[in-house]
Chain A
Amino acid sequence: MPVLVLGLGNPILGDDGVGWRVVEEVERRFQSSETGLPKSVEFDYVSLGGLALMERLIGYDRAILVDAIQTPGGRPGAVYRLALDDLPTAHADSAHDASLKAALELGRRLGAALPAELAIVAVEAPRVFDLGQTLSPEVEASVPAAAQAVLAALAPTLREVISPCDQFMGL
């Protein structure tokens, strides 16, 4: 499978669930389009980090991780497009076992088929300590923009399988 789009986070912990919401939105847009879900893209929703996240990424050429993030002074709802070397999100940087970087390095040394390219779309999430299944208004409002960022990250893949890509999802 060429591409994995992975919503990370906790769907019952307020804004921590934004990664899931964004990927649901991307999946919904595909489903409501004429082309439907592309066969070369898989969507999933997990609450994983570190080694477990690395293990989930095995077998894909590319992966797009969508997660909540908190940066000093960050504007709630701000959408970031990051690479692995940029500031890690909570789930990209597991506290219990290994960081995702270390886990990926371990996997590669062991010969695991890990994505050659990893993109991260993150949303600034102010409220991650309150149990609940709703997002803050600012974070909820940013879901379409974050979904668009995921679609933009997917564009190279989609161009390979859907032509012309520009007619798809407004890209």
Chain B
Amino acid sequence: MQRITIDPITRLEGHGKIEIFLDEKGNVANTYFQIPELRGFERFAVGRPIEEMAVITNRICGVCPEAHHMAAAKAADAAYHVEPPRTGKMLRELLYSAFYCTDHTTHFYALGGPDFVMGPDAPVAERNILGVIHKVGLEVGGKVITMRKYGHTVVEMIGGRKVHPCTSIPGGLSHGITEEQRVEIEQMGRWAIGFAQFSLQLFNDVVLGNDAYRELILGDTYYHRTYCIGLVDDQNRVNFYDGKVSVVDPDGKRIGKYAPPEYSDWIAEHVEPWTYLKFPYLKKVGWKGFVDGPDSGVYMATPLSRLNAADGMATPLAQAEYEKFYQALGGKPVHHRLAIHWARLIELLYAAERWVELATDPEITSDNFRTLPTATPTEGVGIVEAPRGTLTHHYWTDPRGVVTKANLVVGTTNNYAAISMSIAKVARTLIKEETVVTEGLLNRVEMAFRAYDPCFGCATHSLPGQMPLEVTIRDARGTVVEVVRRT
């Protein structure tokens, strides 16, 4: 049996590794996507005040600290049995909407977009944000940096710090915003709407206007019929900050919605001997292995799954794009994994519109941004949609509010089974007998997981993305017969 390993070669060696085992004929026998689990979170959390978790857990991950901040803050609200006032909730959601714009922009222009703008067979040296600006124009780079700057500015205004916010406390926030800040936030939000529309137009021109890319998206290689989950508001529209988690089957039929405290009734975790990381699945359906279909509890938690699990978007421009999306892709639900990139841009537009909606609400500058907690804390669950999947924080406390037990289900982990299946399917489709392993072929394998925007920063500090890669082909005895390395 031959063995192909896609393995980062810097400090991430072994941290996010794809192993492809070939049979005697050179076809794919098995694939394994391995990620080591970050150890000791519960031990680290126990003994600390629950209100500290919103500040500490946002250090777990350098990619989505705002998501951890919000999930931990909502868990602390629940543990203290306190509901933030409307202004407090809106300020948190405003911060979160700005963060979403930054995060989705970064993924599209630096990670996912280059595969399409430059093409999957382009040299890796060109398949990055520099290649994108070379092809599309330098002004695109300027727009990306401006979008990021505006997002960071809002996070700092409301969250107290850039990137790692620290102002959400049980019952709301530690401070509000002034009218002067509100005006600035609104202006930046209006710019963000235009940028999101520009990005969707770019996707339409470059990707949808290219027959080969359309075929890549709509072909069978990147297709899995799984369940989908996503947070929705009381009208079943996509919401990133609050609501219930909607669960739909592979036909798009809603099988239920769960509130944060009910998550353990819906989500269970499967263990495999070859990885420390567990595979979440839908408890009511059951674990049937790495297979799709209605009998398998494997689910997806991504921008695409959020659209599939909702009845629509809560803002007008995003709703129009939502309708266009399903019309173009043959109706709802959509299971083509590369369509996640398109769904991500629709979410970018929604986040920008929501940013302006919240910034123009008459109560956003109110001083009533916190409800003082008075009840004895017990236990709380907080759920938000991280850009890369549903994020759940669960804490148990003693009567002083000191954490006695903790559990996290992080965004990307939801997709671990689905990502593994996608990698396996792509590998089986593309690596055939006597196939020469090329960089373009490997990139198509990577594209399978890149679509999910995986962040194992919660489990490791980094992940395979723009990392240098090494492919090792071994014979049946494990001897290296060929090494393909790209840096």
| Contact across chains for B11 and A12 when beta carbons are under 8 A apart | no
Contact B62 A48 (CB under 8 A): yes
User: Quick one: which of B98-147 are within 8 Å of A by CB?
Assistant: 106-107, 110-111, 128-130, 133, 138, 141-142, 144-145
Leading 5 A-B pairs by shortest Cβ distance = A70-B11, A95-B462, A131-B44, A97-B110, A95-B465
Q: Which of A12, A47, A93, A105 contacts B44 (CB 8 A)?
A: A12
> A96-143: which have CB < 8 Å to B?
96-99, 102-103, 105-107, 109-110, 112, 125, 128-132
The answer to whether B218 has its CB under 8 Å from any CB of chain A is no
Contact indicator B461/A98 (Cβ below 8 Å): no
A51 at the interface (CB under 8 A from B): yes
B-chain residues with CB within 8 Å of residue A131 when the two chains form the complex: 38-41, 43-44, 60
1/0 per residue, CB under 8 A from A, across B11-45: the answer is 11100100000000000000000001111110110
Are A95 and B12 CB-contacts (below 8 A) given A102-B466, A106-B129, A131-B44?
yes
- Kindly state whether residue A11 has any CB partner on chain B within 8 Å: yes
Given known A-B contacts A47-B164, A72-B13, A90-B462, A95 and B467 have beta carbons under 8 A apart: yes
Nearest CB of A to B81, in Å: 28
A97-B62 CB under 8 A given contacts A16-B461, A55-B145, A102-B128? no
Residues in A with CB closer than 8 Å to B202 are none
Select which of A47, A50, A69, A70 is within 8 A of B110 by beta carbon. A50
> Within the complex, which residue of B37, B56, B111, B145 is in contact with A110, where a contact is CB–CB below 8 Å?
B145
Nearest-CB distance from B241 to chain A (Å)? Answer: 22
Establish whether residues B138 and A109, one from each chain, have CB atoms under 8 Å apart when the complex forms. Answer: yes
Task: Among A52, A68, A91, A129, point to the contact of B38 (Cβ < 8 A).
Answer: A129
Indicate if the CB atoms of B129 and A90 lie closer than 8 Å.
no
Question: Complex: how many Å from CA A11 to CA B457?
Answer: 14
CB distance from B44 to the nearest CB of A (A): 4
Say whether A110 contacts B142, CB under 8 Å: yes
A96 nearest in chain B by CB position: B63
Partner among B37, B111, B163, B468 whose Cβ is within 8 Å of the Cβ of A48: B163
Please, which residues of chain B bring their CB within 8 A of the CB of A72?
13
Q: Is B455 an interface residue (CB 8 A)?
A: yes
Question: Do A98 and B141 touch (CB < 8 A)?
Answer: no
B214-228 contacts to A (CB < 8 Å):
none
Q: Flag whether B171 is at the interface (Cβ < 8 A).
A: no
Are B467's CB and A106's CB within 8 A? no
B44 touches A132 (CB 8 A): yes
> Quick one: closest A residue to B43, CB to CB?
A131
Q: Which residues of B contact A99 (CB under 8 A)?
A: 128, 466
Are B464 and A95 touching (Cβ within 8 A)? yes
Nearest A residue (CB) for B145: A110
B462, closest chain A residue (CB):
A95
Q: Is the CB of A90 within 8 A of B10?
A: yes
The answer on a CB contact under 8 Å between B466 and A71 is no
**Chain B residues closer than 8 Å to A51, beta-carbon distance:** 106, 110, 129, 144-145, 148
Least distance between A137 CB and chain B CB atoms (Å): 18
| Of the residues A49, A70, A98, contact of B62 by C-beta under 8 Å | A49
The count of A-to-B residue pairs whose CB atoms sit within 8 angstroms is 141
Task: Return B393 CB to nearest CB of chain A, in Å.
Answer: 15
Count of chain A residues with a beta carbon within 8 Å of a chain B beta carbon: 44
Per-residue interface assignment for chain B, residues 40 to 76, with 1 indicating a CB less than 8 Å from any chain A CB and 0 otherwise: 1101100000000000100110110100000000000
Annotate A24-54 by CB proximity to B: 1 below 8 A, 0 otherwise: 0000000000000000000000111111100
Residues from chain A with a CB closer than 8 A to the CB of B129 are 51, 97-98, 102-103, 106
0/1 interface trace, chain B 433-463, chain A, CB 8 Å (1 if under): 0000000000000000000000101001111
Whether, in the assembled complex, B149 has its beta carbon less than 8 Å from a beta carbon of chain A, the answer is: yes
Contact assessment for B142 and A47 in the assembled complex, using a CB-CB cutoff below 8 Å: no
* B466→A95 contact, CB < 8 A: yes
Nearest-Cβ distance from residue B456 to partner chain A, whole angstroms: 8
Beta-carbon contact of B464 and A93 below 8 Å:
no
Judge whether B130 and A105 touch: CB under 8 Å.
Answer: yes
A85 to chain B, nearest CB (A): 11
Please measure, in the bound complex, the distance between the C-alpha atom of A70 and the C-alpha atom of B467, giving whole angstroms.
14
Taking the closest CB of chain A, its distance from the CB of B376, in whole angstroms, is: 28
Contact with A along B287-320 (1 / 0, CB 8 A): 0000000000000000000000000000000000
- CB of A11 within 8 A of CB of B59, answer yes
Residues of A within 8 A of B43 (CB): 131
Most buried by A among B12, B41, B465: B465
- Check B462 against A106 for contact (C-beta < 8 Å): no
Residues on A with beta carbons closer than 8 Å to the beta carbon of B10: 70, 87-90, 93
Q: Which of B11, B16, B463 contacts A71 (CB 8 A)?
A: B11
A109 touches B141 (CB 8 A): yes
Q: Which residue of B lies closest to A56 (CB)?
A: B162
B461 and A130: CB pair below 8 A?
no
A-B contact pairs, 8 of them (CB 8 A): A49-B62, A94-B462, A98-B129, A110-B138, A128-B460, A129-B38, A130-B40, A131-B40
Contact A130 B39 (CB under 8 A): yes
* B115 CB, nearest partner CB in chain A, Å: 14
Chain A residue with Cβ nearest B109: A97
A63 to chain B minimum Cβ distance, whole angstroms, is 17
| Pair A89/B62 contact, Cβ less than 8 Å | no
CB neighbours of A52 from chain B (8 A): 148, 163
